[in-house]
């Protein structure tokens, strides 16, 4: 199996190294990821600017890696529209492990998800992996992710989805002793993980600065992806590319 691994935090992010190392146990892995941070770019693609691609010194043995001067969707799009010949195109796309949960309304903004949505356009199965955290001031516990990512990847590879669907996996930020288990069939919460507020700050009269302030929410609907993660479970659900019938 040929596996393409990408992300939206950039090729130097810790999460993509973890995901590529895990994926290596299931097949041939190539990493093509953005040079820079691309969070919240959704399914954005580059149409007019030239994009660079360069070999990247990656920490996982046996994995070829390339830094791409585009978005996560660009990384996937280019892989199926020119970077690979027909017999070399990957059989599976993995996106992540993102720093931050992709639950509820945040799925709509996520470039981690955008990469998976692009893969589905070519009939290629895709899985998103995300690690919840609250703020940079709080410790992010990744013990659950490290302990269970391999078994989850193995199980989801063995469960092909209907056309237009991708798996969406979110790990809780909790200590291993507080971990509750895995919940499947989680639906996207009908809210965002962050209580966002745009604050207008005083400056001069001609131009004011607008700053985004975020506070993590503490409650969501029962049965939702967000509530599962808040409660210390791994959330697994599906997300749909709505243009695919």
Phi–psi pair at 79, nearest 5 degrees: -65, -30
Radius of gyration of the chain from Cα atoms? 18
CA distance 226 to 235: 8
Which of these, 173, 207, 205, 168, lies nearest to 188 by C-alpha position? 168
Supply the DSSP symbol for 174.
S
Which of these, 126, 131, 26, lies nearest to 80 by C-alpha position? 126
Tokens of 159: 């469960």
Residue 9 known to bind ligand: yes
**Number of other residues whose CB lies within 10 A of the CB of residue 192:** 19
Which of these, 240, 235, 237, 42, lies nearest to 145 by C-alpha position? 235
Instruction: Please give the distance of CA 149 from its chain centroid, rounded to a whole number.
Output: 14
Beta bridge partners of 168: 128, 237
Residue 98 known to bind ligand: yes
Residue stretches of the annotated binding site for a divalent metal cation = 8-9, 39, 98
Residue stretches of the annotated binding site = 8-9, 39, 98
């Amino acid at each position: 199996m040929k596996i393409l691994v990408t992300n939206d935090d950039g090729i130097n992010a810790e999460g993509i190294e973890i995901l590529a190392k895990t994926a290596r146990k299931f097949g041939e892995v190539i990493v093509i990821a953005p040079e820079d941070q691309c969070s919240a770019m959704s399914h954005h693609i580059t149409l007019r600017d030239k994009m660079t691609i360069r070999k990247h010194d990656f920490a996982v043995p046996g994995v070829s890696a390339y830094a791409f001067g585009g978005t996560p969707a660009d990384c996937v799009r280019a892989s199926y529209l020119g970077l690979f010949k027909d017999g070399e195109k990957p059989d599976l796309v993995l996106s992540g492990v993102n720093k931050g949960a992709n639950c509820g309304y945040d799925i709509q903004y996520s470039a981690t998800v955008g990469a998976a949505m692009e893969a589905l356009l070519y009939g290629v199965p895709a899985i998103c992996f995300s690690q919840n955290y609250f703020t940079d001031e709080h410790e992010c516990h990744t013990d659950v992710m490290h302990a269970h990512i391999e078994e989850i990847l193995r199980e989801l590879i063995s469960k092909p989805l209907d056309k237009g669907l991708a798996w969406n996996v979110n790990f809780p930020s909790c200590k291993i002793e507080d971990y509750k288990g895995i919940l499947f069939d989680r639906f996207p919460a009908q809210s965002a993980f962050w209580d966002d507020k745009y604050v207008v700050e005083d400056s001069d009269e001609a131009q004011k600065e607008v700053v985004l302030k975020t506070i993590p929410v503490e409650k969501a609907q029962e049965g939702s992806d967000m509530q599962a993660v808040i409660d210390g479970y791994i959330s697994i659900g599906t997300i749909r590319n709505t243009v695919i019938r």
